[in-house]
């Protein structure tokens, strides 16, 4: 099993850094290069040997599909795995080799990488058993954020959370914003519901 050189492309630093940190633990991955700018990723691909590109679809400057088409024009054999927040209305299967959602467990993402690169197979989210779909988001929530999730679930206000944790209200708001983004929720109700699903609260 030859070690792999990967590129991660996503305009959100939290997702990018969380995924990189998880994949760096894999013994079969040699290097991981990250980009928030698709144009810079294209330039890097033209100059380096890459085994797999993991990218989002929704990105500024260059649409994800256009980004994939551009790198496929340069190297039609380059493997592409899309990891997105959204289920596609239709697949562009001629352009990528796999499509997973951002709430996919990291173990499934690793399995997809192995099947796409080593087994020369495609891997799409419909293939995943419901029993195995945990959440990639779960792996990137910090200990402090988990504490704040539990307090929100108990209906503590921002001021009360700040007082209990001996931090400022601004810090609580920042943590809360990050939690909402990582778990892809917009309200406290949505957060509590997602937290139950992930096992943060019971």
pLDDT in tens, the chain (202 residues): 789 999 999 988 888 888 999 899 899 999 999 999 999 999 999 999 999 999 988 777 777 888 998 998 889 899 999 998 777 655 666 678 999 988 788 888 999 999 999 999 988 887 664 434 444 445 567 889 889 999 999 999 999 999 999 999 999 998 998 888 777 788 898 888 888 777 777 6
Nearest CA to 180 out of 194, 166, 160 is that of 194
- Return the CA Rg of the chain: 18
Judge contact between 165 and 150, C-beta under 8 A.
no
- At 196 the pLDDT is 79
The CA–CA distances, whole Å, from 8 to 31, 55, 115 equal: 11, 6, 18
181 class by beta-carbon count within 10 Å (0-12 exposed, 13-18 middle, 19+ buried)? middle
- At 130 the pLDDT is 43
* 158/173 Cα distance (integer angstroms): 7
Q: Which tokens in the block code for residue 127?
A: 């293939």
- At 143 the pLDDT is 85
- At 113 the pLDDT is 94
- At 106 the pLDDT is 86
Q: Is the dihedral of CA 146, 148, 152, 155 positive or negative?
A: positive
Phi-psi region of 39 (alpha: psi -120 to 50; beta: other; left: phi over 0): alpha
- At 61 the pLDDT is 73
């Amino acid at each position: 099993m030859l070690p792999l050189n990967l590129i991660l492309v996503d305009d959100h630093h939290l997702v990018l850094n969380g995924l990189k940190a998880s994949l760096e633990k894999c013994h079969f991955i040699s290097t991981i290069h990250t980009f928030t700018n698709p144009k810079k990723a294209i330039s890097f691909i033209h100059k380096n040997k890459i085994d797999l590109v993991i990218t989002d679809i929704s990105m500024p400057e260059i649409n994800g599909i256009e980004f994939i088409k551009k790198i496929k024009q340069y190297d039609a054999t380059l493997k592409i795995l899309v990891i997105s927040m959204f289920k596609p209305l239709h697949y562009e299967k001629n352009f990528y080799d796999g499509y997973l959602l951002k709430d996919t467990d990291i173990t499934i993402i690793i399995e997809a990488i192995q099947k796409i690169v080593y087994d020369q197979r495609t891997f799409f989210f419909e293939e995943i058993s419901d029993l195995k779909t945990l959440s990639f988001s779960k792996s990137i929530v910090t200990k402090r954020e988990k504490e704040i999730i539990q307090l929100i679930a108990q209906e503590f206000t921002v001021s009360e959370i700040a007082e209990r944790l001996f931090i400022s209200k601004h810090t609580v708001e920042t943590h809360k914003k990050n939690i909402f983004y990582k778990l892809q929720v917009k309200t406290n109700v949505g957060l509590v519901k997602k937290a139950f699903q992930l096992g943060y609260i019971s």
